């Protein structure tokens, strides 16, 4: 679990690393790779996504 404090509020979240995931490794071999970060608030049915970033 990771923690982020901002303006008197504390946000706790679980990180996931997909670097060793087979689908990620396959995509990595195909050339340019883009990704984004998803934050999924507890109790929510939708994620909040970052802008797309170039990974490779």
Over the stretch 9-46, which tens digit does the pLDDT of each residue have?
888 877 888 888 998 889 888 888 898 988 888 788 89
pLDDT score recorded for residue 44: 86
Res 50: pLDDT:
94
| pLDDT confidence of residue 38 | 87
Residue 52, pLDDT > 90, answer yes
Asked if 48 contacts 37 with a C-beta cutoff of 8 angstroms, the reply is no
**Nearest by Cα to 53 from 24, 27, 39, 32:** 32
Q: Tell me, what's the pLDDT at 14?
A: 78
Given its phi and psi angles, is residue 23 left (phi above 0), alpha (psi -120 to 50 degrees) or beta?
Answer: alpha
Print the domain residue range for 35: 2-54
Identify the pLDDT of residue 49.
93
Q: What's the structural domain count of the chain? A: 1
CA 26 to CA 22: how far, in whole Å?
6
Q: CA 12: distance to chain centroid?
A: 14
């Amino acid at each position: 679990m990771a923690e982020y404090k901002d303006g008197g509020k504390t946000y706790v979240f679980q990180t996931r690393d997909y670097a060793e995931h087979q689908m990620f490794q396959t995509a990595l071999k195909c050339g340019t790779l883009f990704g984004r970060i998803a934050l999924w608030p507890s109790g929510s049915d939708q994620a909040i996504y970052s802008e797309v970033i170039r990974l490779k």
